[in-house]
Structure 1
Amino acid sequence: MKLSIFKGHSKFVFLGLSTGGLGYYYYQQTQQKSNKYTKQDYSSSDNKSSQSLDSTQDSIKNVNQFLYSVSVRPHRLKLQKGGEDANYAEQNLIAVADGVGGWADNGVDPAEYSNLLIKNLREIYNTNKTKYIQNPKELLIDSAQKTNILGSSTLVMCTLDQNKDILNTTYIGDSGYCLYRFDEKGNIKLEHMFTEQQKSFNFPYQIGGKDHGDKPQTALKFEHKIKNNDVLIVGSDGLFDNLDNTQIQKQIQQAVLKNKKNIVNVQKLSSDIADEAQEKSLSKSYDSPFAQKARASKRFFYGGKEDDITVAVAQIALKDI
């Protein structure tokens, strides 16, 4: 039986199979018993070979690179295993995978697929970085083909060309990214916001093992011309279901370092965005992006959407600038 799973890290109720073998679920909000969270954060400054986050403009760089920070806020009921998102970041690649939660109803841990997918992605990427930086969709396809266990995941990848001022991106499903740029006055502006790749409300495209999910070739692919100090935000749907562009943009503006024109503290920024998304996800009165999309699909939902939240922030540092 080929099973396609609706997205969800809260409770989904299985309704049955269509003639094509697709599983149908509806969203059912459940009350949680614990208010405790754990925070997981790391950044390029943790790597001794990385440039200082506060001295980007003062350093001579041989290649274009990301100055990045990743913050993870697992769902309260999934703290022990660290949630069901997985990620990998280094100076020219950022990847975020989100294990599809509906698999738990079939006795499969959604975290196993997303974690193995990222493990395989990292190993394949390191065999030929130059090749995969130029074509991250090929890396997505190769990683998906190697990850042949039960489960499925959404996935987003962004790669920064080491020599050209080009950002290459690919994604499948509702994990995604947005790109921001400073104007001449130092105000941050949105350059690009991804569009969720969905079959229907809360039913994203997904790659999976054992002949489940969608073909990885259906992933979308983009190329962006970038400028020095552009800010890239990459995340799982736990971010974008709870914060909109205006809220993210405000956080970026607040993270600009004093006396450092257009330089942001990426560590503070990723943590602050993740914390705000987490806070909003718990609200019962907040009109979240997820709630707005639900109502647009004629479903009743209000409040935030509790979920695993992964936020990767990268400021682009072009070489010799």
Structure 2
Amino acid sequence: MLSGSCYLPHPDKEETGGEDAHFICTDEQAIGVTDGVGGWADVGVNAGLFAQELISNLVRAIQKEPKGSFNLTRVLREAHANTKVKGSSTACIVALTDKGLHAINLGDSGFIVVRDGCTIFESPSQQHDFNFPYQLESGNGADLPSSGEVFTIPVASGDVVISGTDGLFDNLYNSEITGVVEHAIRAGLEPQVTAQKIAALARQRALSKSSRTPFSTAAEKAGFCYYGGKLDDITVVVSYISGSVSE
């Protein structure tokens, strides 16, 4: 699994680094994304610090797991227990093993798997209500790691996994992401360049006041009158699957 990433903080949060965080563990064949919940800013808390500490703890927990055999619920539980700063965050972890792709997702970050120009898997978004995602908080004040959805997905050489925060999935439909991936594969682009191209398109949509987006569609379904994208931190991690994997 060869991975590359791109992170575009919200334009208003560039000085503080934004509220997303992510990791790529090459040796462990694992990636993860977290998205600090921006509502904490109302009480003077930078939730990006929670997301960053959670990421650091996720990496430590993954490195303790038996190689090629991940218990991602245990990983998320241990990382959450060791995250002490104030704030809350969504979390998504994806790992490649000889039995396929293992993943856990809590909240409205997530991932899709693309094969031959089609989305063959999409992790469902976990939300209590419109724009109110499941989230981990320091202590037990919010959702628990056990609320995360666990997935095992057979993958084949040539598949592409696109993971990201809601800054990606609120602004681009899967067909738009897949279109960028297909063009990138044909052009022989590396995962990082592909991630940059996806993130750039997501930012373009986020700035639009008129484009139809997944966020505007969801807002409409929830009874709101909303047009265009949603300006947010955008994290994109692109992973190319190659070699001998489970079919």
The alignment's TM-score, normalised by the length of structure 2, stands at 0.94
Structure 2 partner of 1:136: 72
* Residue pairs, 1:211-226, within 5 angstroms: 211-226=140-155
Q: CA deviation at 1:165?
A: 4.2
Pair 1:109-2:109 in alignment: no
One-letter amino acid of the counterpart of residue 179, structure 2: K
RMSD: 1.5
Q: Secondary structure at the match of 2:113?
A: strand
Question: 1 or 2 for the larger relative contact order (CA 8 Å, sep ≥6)?
Answer: 2
The structure having more radius of gyration, on CA atoms, is: 1
Distance in structure 1 (CA, Å) of the matches to 2:101 and 2:212: 33
Answer yes or no: is the 8 Å Cα contact 2:88–2:135 preserved in 1: yes
Instruction: Measure the CA separation in 2 of the matches of 1:100 and 1:230.
Output: 31
Matched residues in 1 for 2:185 and 2:238: separation?
Answer: 13
- Match in the other structure for 1:83: 18
Counterpart AA for 2:231: E
User: 1:149 Cα deviation (Å)?
Assistant: 2.4
Q: TM-score, normalised by structure 1?
A: 0.73
SS state at 1:103 partner: helix
Partner of 2:107: 173
Give 1:44's aligned residue.
none
Percent identical among aligned pairs is: 35
The alignment partner of 2:240 has SS state of: strand
Question: Using a 3 Å threshold, how does the CA distance of structure 1 residues 165 and 228 change in structure 2: closer, same or farther?
Answer: farther
Q: Specify the SS of the correspondent of 1:81.
A: coil
2:3 corresponds to: 68
Q: Deviations over 1:191-236 (max 9, x none)?
A: 1011100111011110110332111111100000110111000000
What is aligned with 2:64? 127
Give CA deviations for 1:60-93 in whole Å, capped at 9, x if unaligned: xxxxxx1111000100011012210000012310
The residue type equivalent to 2:137 in the other structure is: G
Q: Distance in 2 between matches of 1:165 and 1:172?
A: 22
Displacement, 1:265? 2.8
Paired residues of 1:85 and 1:308 also in contact (CA < 8 A): yes
User: In the comparison of the two structures, how many residue pairs are matched?
Assistant: 243
Q: Distance in 2 between matches of 1:129 and 1:297?
A: 43
Give the secondary structure class of the aligned counterpart of 1:158.
Answer: strand
Q: Which amino acid aligns with 2:23?
A: Y
Where in structure 1 are there 5+ consecutive unaligned residues?
Answer: 1-65, 183-187
* AA aligned opposite 1:139: V
Which runs of no fewer than 5 residues in structure 2 stay unpaired? Answer: none
